[in-house]
Each structure stands twice: as C-alpha cells, then as structure tokens.
Structure 1
C-alpha cells in the first residue's frame, strides 16, 4: 500500500513599498497579485511587510529598521523565502540575502519560476530559458560570494573573478544558442501560419486568469488546459472553429500581467505573432476582479508594444456569474458611492456604453449569454470573410438564431 504524502508548501513573506507613484491602494493590489503568484508557484504567504518611502533604498530596497523587522520575523517563524514586489538589482539581492540569510526572490524571478513550471512544449521551454539566462547574467557575481569571503591564502588570489568571467561567457553563449533556436522555430511557425491560407484568424487576448482557455474550450469544443491559477496556459493553441457554417481559426494566447518582466516580453514576442497576424481580437476581461479596469489598461499597453492596438476588438466581459457589487447603505450620507458598488446594469451605462455592441457580458464556465457571443463573433468574422472572398458572399447568410 502506498502512503499518501502531504507536500508542505514553501513558506514566504512578501515585501512591498508605498511611494509617490504607488499609493497604499495600488501597493495592496500588487501584493494581492504577488500572493496569488506565490500560491501558483507552490508557496504559502505567512505575512506581508510594506514601508512608505519616497524611493526604494538603493542597497536594501527597504529601510534598515524595516529589514531588521523582516529578519526577526523570518528567524522566529523559520520562513524559507522573502519575495519582493519589484525587481531587485544584483547588488540589492546580494545585500538582502546576507542580512536575511534566506532565499530572496523578486517579482520577476517568481514569474520566471512559474513560467518554467508551466512550459510544456519545446518552444515555450526555450523562450523561458532565454528569459532566465538574460535575468541571470547580471546576477552571477552573487553566486560567487563564498569565494569573496575566503580572502587571501595560497591559490585563492582571484579565482572567483576568473570563474565569474567563465560563467558569463557560458551564459552569453547559451543566450546566443537559444536565440538561434527560436529563430528556427519562428520560421517553422511562420510557414505553418502561411499554410493556413486566408482563413479569418481570431485571437483571444487578456490578462492572466480571466478565463480565455475556458472560453476556448466552450467555443471550439476542445480541451485546452484551464485552471484557476496565473499563467495556466503558456503555449499558443490554435483551433478551427465553425459557427453555423462559417469556419475560422481561434487562437488562445499567453495571459498578460502588470509589471511583466522585460525579459519575458522580449522572449515571448514571437509567440504573440499570432496576435499580430489576427484579423479580430477578443479581449477577455474578468469583470468579477476588483481591478479589472487596470487589467484592461495593462493588456492595451502590451498590444500597443506589439503594434496590435489598431485591430478590431470585441470586449468580452467574462465571469458575470461571479460578479458581486459591494453593498452600499443609501442612508449613509458620509460615505461616497464608488465603482465597487455598481451593479452590472450600472456598469453598462458607464464607458462600456460607448463600446456599444462590441461589449459582451458572458460566463464561459456556466455558458451564460453564449448565443449572443456566437452571433456577435459570427457577424464580425462574416464581414471580414465577405470582404476577403466577395464571390462567396451567398455561402454565409445572416446568423440564424439558435433554439434553446
């Protein structure tokens, strides 16, 4: 009989700052997301630490008193990892590690670790390894601190420095190899995209964990991996979809996130070629998330970076079944009503009203309003298709309402 073994989660503390550019509300939002990232990576957050400061400390990110407070908690509670919400410099990481005497990660390192866990195909693994190598290169010196401490002595004059240079050369060579490998795969994928002919291409884009893969499964009747964790899907999935008699290609892409590491944006830009070459974007939004408007801004920023912000877009507000406005006491004259108190009906009268028929409200999980979704996508794809193949106009009549 095999015994069931419970795997203990790695304990962690989170550290963030409140600055002029990042107020307390925004700092809390980022730490909430960082906690979800930690959970996704297999960790358990025991405590959060924040400090108000004009700018992060150049040596230790947070102040001397705060880092001593963090150290005391880590020592007393046997915490294994300290995770910082912003990217640390190589010097900051070394200094903090010496003080805290535990594993020190920053947001970038954590996201890279999740990507490494989630990468399934050779292409995704190559992209992640490239990002990891580019992140590692300026931080190699910290891995040789054990040699720095052994000062003097026969045979110990300078080997650490030579070893660092050797490692740097190895990492640079590996980066070059990975870039060459990605170029080859990119050419192969470019040929594959070319072989799809002139079929209309529709791409699902959106923040991570908004339900893109769930929607993909419902529409294409396929089984793309979907999970309530960040970055459940890294690999681009393309499926042929037919709504009524109209065929098109539907692509599920990697989710975006705020403070996305530069290394990942660069290494995954080739994956986003599917977005660049799409005829229509379905921007999926988790309307049940309290910060969904910020998520929209983050996605639009990435779309702008990859020159895809001018494409036709349908806004798909998903998870309406999970949306619950915060209760508001109408008799309380001192408290101001905010967007958090809006009902879905009230949201539709805001800026969403200007989006008009290009705003859809659905629940992919519970298949709510999917007929409306399919009709809107059909109409848009049909218009593109008819423009591309004007002589086939008669083949695709107006959408026929499906029966219940």
Structure 2
C-alpha cells in the first residue's frame, strides 16, 4: 500500500519532533516522550535535527501547537532543509491538513510512525496482514488529505464533484479491503488457535515487556535459538514459540511484541492473535531494562496493557535485565529533590523490589553478559514444576 511505507525506502531523512507540555504532562515526561519519539524516528531511518516543545493547557484543536510555534517550526524547516515533521500525539485529519498546509513538508504523527516501523519489520504474511489492516484503518478517516490539490482549483463546473466521487470510491475500496483483511486474519487466528491447542498440555511461559528491553536476547539464551535481536524498537513482530527444557522439565517459551506508550489502538486490535499468546500463558516473565531511567514507568505501562488484554492474575516473574549497564548515582547531601531509581544502589533496588513483587519472584540479570541466568532458570523451573504438579497431581514424571 502506497501510504504505508513512508520512511522505509528513505535514507536518513532529516526530521524535527514536536510535543506539548500540558496539565497532564509535565516537562520531564514530555522530554521523555520525545526521547522515545527520537528513538522511533531513528528506527524508521530518520535523523532528528531539532525538537520543539510548547507549554499550553491542551493541544490546539486546529494545529496541535499554537500558530506562533507553527510559524517558528516552519521557519526552521525552511532554513535547515528538513524533510519531515513528526508530532508526538495522534493528529486529527483536520489538524494534519492544516499543519501540512503551513509547514509545506511531510507530516507524521506518532501513530503513523509506529505503523510505518511495523510495516518495515513485518516478515510473515500474518504480520504483514495485521499491519496492513491497521494502516488502512488509520488511513480511512484521513482520505481527504490526499485530495487537497482540488482545493487549489478555482471551482467551476465539474471541479467539486469528481473529487468527492473519487474520495468516496477510494473509501469504498479501502472498506472492502479492510473487510477482506479482517476475514483473512480471522481464518489465520483460527488456524493459530488450533496450533496452540495442538501443542499438547505443556506449561506455557510468555516473555512480556516494554520494547527494546532484551526479550529476544533472553529468548535466545534460554531456548538456544537464533531469534532476531537488535537494539532498535520493535525488532521482532512475529510471535516466536520455542520448546525449552530445564533439567528434565519441558515447557513452551513465547517471545511477544514489545509494548510502548500510546500504542495505536489499530495495532492492538490487529495484533490480538499475538496477544492471545499472553492470554493463554500460564506464567508471565516481565522483562525490564534496569539501565533505563524510567523503567518503573515502563513497568506500569506494560501492566496496564496486560490488564486490558487479560484480567486474570497470572504468576509473574519480574526480570531486571541489563544490570551490566546500570549506573548508580548517589545523591549529594544538599540535594533535597526526590530520589530516582538511579539514586539507589543495586542492593537497595533488589530489597525494594523483592518486597514489592508477589512471592519475591524477581531476579536481576544481564542477558548479554549471561549474568545470574542460572538463578532465573531455577526460578522458572520451580514455577513450571508447581503448575505442572497442580495440573497433573498423579503424574509421576517429576517425582
């Protein structure tokens, strides 16, 4: 689909990022959102040249930021040969149209950027179908934007009608395609449900976590497989399932797509078969990047998303990965600001989280350096064995 791969073929497009500080989002959080947006842009192949942040009670319904700020952005774009402007929130069709008219460059919002990355990362026909469906659902209400050339016509007989007719034709084609993709996904979902059912009665463990926390690296380590792992957001989209044996105990280990803040709802809907692996798991392994300054926020984002997917409580092992990259920053005695996670030593963090996590099921590792992996394996073994014994109380396999 022509509108889907906005950045895929581009080589280092130069971009600027735009965000707002509102009553709901303070300055620190706004900067963190833009850090993440910059990482998304880099993953898609764009080079960030500048960031623009504006403080306002709420985003402008017509132009997202104020007209003065938009003119400032326009001036910077003209002077620095910028190809692309990326906004940190979803833009309405009218906002998108108004902004493009002022800036005179390509404009994306966070959702479109994420959809583009998913499109470039999709490998299997299943993932490609899921992404295409999400893209079409995103595109449908924004069709008029593609016909703005008609607005430059002076009017007259035959000028207004054909544009509307073309839009309606396109809308009908897209709606038919959406219907076709939904039925195709429904068939694939049924096949995958049968496959899941055919895996026997092995205990199922799902790796979950924020994107780029090291789930695929951990998957490779535990299953001795070669799952694609890279230091980029959404390196893997397709669900990977491997049979793992610890001592004499086999179980199924699933690597799932990473979560992220403001994940487009079209993607959540399209990827529900991937999320079914989470629903049907017996145990969750929640992986966190301990070296990230906001890992606690990521922990909450993932938990909120998991709660939307599946309300049932599952035994969860919390894995703090990348301890080799964790930097302890002790506070000065004169510094009265609240302590952050980086102001605690690794030992302090261990004690804090041991008390916080249910049944002390947390472990601190480095998948890259293979540190404390045996401790994680022991924890996994004990939890899988406990569920196996509950499910098969008279099975002598483990006795």
> Which TM-score bucket, shorter chain as reference?
over 0.9
After superposition, the Cα gap between the structure-2 partners of 1:157 and 1:84, relative to the gap in structure 1 and judged at 3 Å, is closer
Q: CA deviation at 1:336?
A: 5.3
Cα drift, residue 302 of structure 1: 1.1
Which segment is superposed worse, 261-270 or 230-239?
A: 261-270
Q: CA deviation at 1:158?
A: 1.2
Query: Secondary structure of 2:39's match?
Result: helix
Aligned pair partner of 1:158 in 146, 161, 164? 161
Q: Would you say the 8 A contact 2:229–2:235 is kept in 1?
A: yes
Q: Give the SS at the match of 1:17.
A: strand
1:78 has 2:64 as partner: no
Aligned residues of 2:237 and 2:257 also touching (Cα < 8 A): yes
Q: Does 1:54 align with 2:72?
A: no
Who is 2:7 aligned against?
Answer: none
Rounded to whole Å, the distance in 2 between the matches of 1:146 and 1:244 is 66
Is 1:347–2:349 an aligned residue pair? yes
Secondary structure of the equivalent of 1:249? Answer: strand
Q: Distance in 2 between matches of 1:211 and 1:338?
A: 22
Q: Residue 9 of structure 1 aligns with which residue?
A: 12
Question: How far has the Cα of 1:157 moved from its partner?
Answer: 3.7
Q: Distance in 2 between matches of 1:104 and 1:147?
A: 19
Give the direction of change, closer, same or farther, for the CA distance of 1:389–1:309 in structure 2 (3 Å limit). Answer: closer
Cα 1:92–1:280, aligned 2, differ >3 Å: closer, same or farther?
A: same
Q: Secondary structure at the match of 1:158?
A: helix
Which position in structure 1 is the counterpart of 2:379? Answer: 376
In the alignment, is residue 295 of structure 1 matched against residue 293 of structure 2? Answer: no
Q: Distance in 2 between matches of 1:336 and 1:157?
A: 60
Take 1:373 and 1:334, find their aligned partners in 2: how far apart are those partners? 37
1:327 positional shift: 4.2
Q: Normalization by structure 2: what TM-score? A: 0.95
- Is this contact kept in 2: 1:300–1:309, CA < 8 A? no
Deviation at 1:392, TM superposition (A): 2.4
CA contact (8 A) 2:330 2:344 kept: no
**Is contact 1:281-1:312 (8 Å) kept?**
yes
- What CA RMSD, in Å, does the superposition of the two structures yield over aligned residues? 1.3
- Are the equivalent residues in 1 in contact too, given 2:11–2:45 (CA < 8 A)? no
Alignment of 1:301-312 (within 5 A): 301-312=304-315
- Does the Cα contact within 8 Å between 1:41 and 1:110 map onto a contact in 2? yes
Counterpart-to-counterpart distance in 1, 2:206 and 2:337: 42
What is the rounded CA distance, in whole Å, between the counterparts of 1:235 and 1:197 in structure 2?
Answer: 21
The answer as to whether partners of 1:148 and 1:160 remain within 8 angstroms in 2 is: no
- 1:253-272 matched pairs, under 5 angstroms: 253-272=256-275
Q: Counterparts of 1:308 and 1:318 in 2: how far apart (Å)?
A: 26
Matched residues in 2 for 1:319 and 1:81: separation? 34
Pairs aligned (count): 389
Please give the TM-score of this superposition, normalised by the length of structure 1: 0.94
> Distance between the aligned counterparts of 1:266 and 1:311, measured in 2?
22
Q: Is contact 1:275-1:308 (8 Å) kept?
A: no
Q: Give the structure 2 partner of residue 248 of structure 1.
A: 251
In 2, Cα distance between equivalents of 1:326 and 1:88: 39
In structure 1, which of residues 115, 126, 129 is the aligned counterpart of residue 129 of structure 2? 126
Distance of 1:334 and 1:158 partners within structure 2? 66
Give the 3-state SS of the residue equivalent to 1:348 in structure 2.
helix
CA distance in structure 1 between the aligned counterparts of 2:228 and 2:60, rounded to whole angstroms: 41
Counterpart in the other structure of 2:91:
88
Q: CA deviation at 1:344?
A: 1.1
List aligned pairs for 1:27-46, cutoff 5 A: 27-46=30-49
- Give unpaired runs (5+ residues) of structure 1: 1-6, 398-404
Contact 1:13–1:47, Cα closer than 8 Å, also in 2? yes
Q: Does 1:139 align with 2:138?
A: no
Post-superposition Cα deviations, 1:248-305, rounded to whole Å, max 9, x if no partner, equal 0000000000011111111111211111011100011111111111111111111111
Structure 2 stretches of 5 or more lacking a match?
1-9
User: Which residue of 102, 106, 117 maps to 2:105?
Assistant: 102
